[in-house]
């Protein structure tokens, strides 16, 4: 299934049904009177978060959603039928924005959560509504009120406890595969990951968390370079970030500063999140290179980074334990 994390759709709630002008005419009843009923309510448009979905691909080719008009009133003071609501099924974690892409209309973070996006119009009054002691035969009936309509943006932000960040080819997909049952594409060239991946990490029978891997960042990503920063929204909800640095490159400190600059340029609170830094590809470094790169990172961080190898699994359990401890602390807060 193709991954799609953003879609624009048009929504139109149903108009209210019309009221009617009608009079009671029955044999053997001396006095009749107005008995035109009111129109029915137009259908609303809702968005509902459901489990089992992880993409907005359903809204790639179906972009217009309209609820039906309410039924018209009828004689004998009968109210028109209310129209059925239209419900958009979206993945958990979907944010619904107005057409300006800034105003948040709904943030669906729980399965079953439902929010109204467009309200259906009320039905118009029939002439029975207007009868009074001085106006016994009103011939007035109102049209139904129009339903709301708008363009909205659906933007998916994956629900994950921890997120992986780093430059392309830092070994994020390998780490995800080594720590969970996820099977992301792994190759020896940059930008192997083209869309976010999720994996469930189980440390014990009672300890587990969701780890998200996003495409690598390069310098200028927040200005659109490479794949840009559009996927950073998927780690906005994470409690902690695991920053992986390729140990085989000559200047790991500069790699760290590059990614940090992109997180700060993006905003969204990513640069303030708890961060665990790990020097990856331990198996591919000589002892001398390992020592020099640890010293370079320590000067930048003010502490020693973790040493791991996603390929061999060395140091991976310690990194996962550090993530779990940080997540537990964040949940308590």
Residue set of the binding site for Mg(2+): 173, 193
Q: How many CB atoms lie within 10 A of CB 100?
A: 8
> Measured between alpha carbons, how far is 333 from 331 in angstroms, rounded to an integer?
5
Q: Phi and psi (nearest 5°) for 176?
A: -60, -40
- Where is the binding site, in residues? 166-173, 191-195, 213-216, 280-283, 309-311
Q: How many CB atoms lie within 10 A of CB 268?
A: 14
> Measured between alpha carbons, how far is 264 from 219 in angstroms, rounded to an integer?
12
Q: Are strands 197-202 and 208-213 parallel, antiparallel or unpaired?
A: antiparallel
Q: Phi and psi (nearest 5°) for 51?
A: -80, 155
Q: Phi and psi (nearest 5°) for 322?
A: -65, -40
DSSP state of 78: B
Contact 274, 241 (CB under 8 A): yes
Cβ-Cβ contacts under 8 Å for 155 (sequence gap 6 or more): 5, 6, 94, 95, 96, 97, 233
Kindly state the tokens that stand for 225: 């370079």
Q: Match 């999720």 to its residue by tokens.
A: 198
**Helices marked H in 145-279:** 172-179, 252-266
Burial class (CB in 10 A: 0-12, 13-18, 19+), 22: buried
- Where is the binding site for GTP, in residues? 166-173, 191-195, 213-216, 280-283, 309-311
Kindly state the tokens that stand for 16: 């209210």
> Measured between alpha carbons, how far is 122 from 128 in angstroms, rounded to an integer?
17
> Measured between alpha carbons, how far is 87 from 299 in angstroms, rounded to an integer?
54
């Amino acid at each position: 299934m193709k991954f799609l994390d953003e879609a624009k759709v048009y929504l139109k709630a149903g108009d209210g049904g019309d009221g009617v002008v009608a009079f009671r005419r029955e044999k053997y009843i001396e006095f009749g009177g107005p008995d035109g009923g009111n129109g029915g309510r137009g259908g609303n448009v809702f968005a509902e978060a459901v489990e089992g979905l992880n993409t907005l691909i359903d809204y790639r080719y179906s972009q217009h959603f309209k609820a039906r008009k309410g039924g018209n009133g009828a004689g004998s003071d009968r109210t028109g039928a209310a129209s059925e609501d239209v419900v958009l099924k979206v993945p958990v974690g979907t944010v619904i924005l107005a057409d300006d892409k800034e105003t948040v209309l709904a943030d669906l973070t729980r399965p079953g959560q439902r929010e109204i996006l467009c309200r259906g119009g009320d039905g118009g009054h029939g002439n029975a509504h207007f009868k009074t002691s001085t106006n016994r035969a009103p011939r007035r009936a109102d049209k139904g009120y129009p339903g709301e309509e708008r363009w909205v943006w659906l933007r998916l932000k994956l629900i994950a406890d921890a997120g992986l960040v780093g430059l392309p080819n830092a070994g994020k997909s390998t780490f995800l595969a080594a720590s969970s049952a996820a099977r992301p594409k792994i190759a020896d060239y940059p930008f192997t990951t083209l869309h976010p991946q999720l994996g469930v990490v189980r440390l014990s029978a009672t300890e587990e968390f969701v780890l998200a891997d996003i495409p690598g960042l390069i310098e200028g990503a927040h200005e659109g370079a490479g794949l840009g920063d559009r996927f950073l929204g998927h780690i906005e909800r994470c409690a902690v970030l695991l920053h992986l640095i390729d140990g085989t490159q000559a200047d790991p400190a500069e790699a760290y500063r590059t990614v940090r600059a992109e997180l700060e340029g993006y905003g969204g609170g990513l640069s303030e999140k708890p961060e665990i830094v790990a020097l990856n590809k331990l198996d591919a470094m000589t002892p001398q290179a390992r020592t020099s790169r640890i010293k370079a990172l320590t000067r930048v961080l003010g502490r020693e980074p973790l040493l791991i190898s996603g390929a061999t699994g060395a140091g991976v359990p310690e990194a996962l334990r550090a993530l779990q401890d940080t997540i537990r602390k964040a949940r308590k807060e």
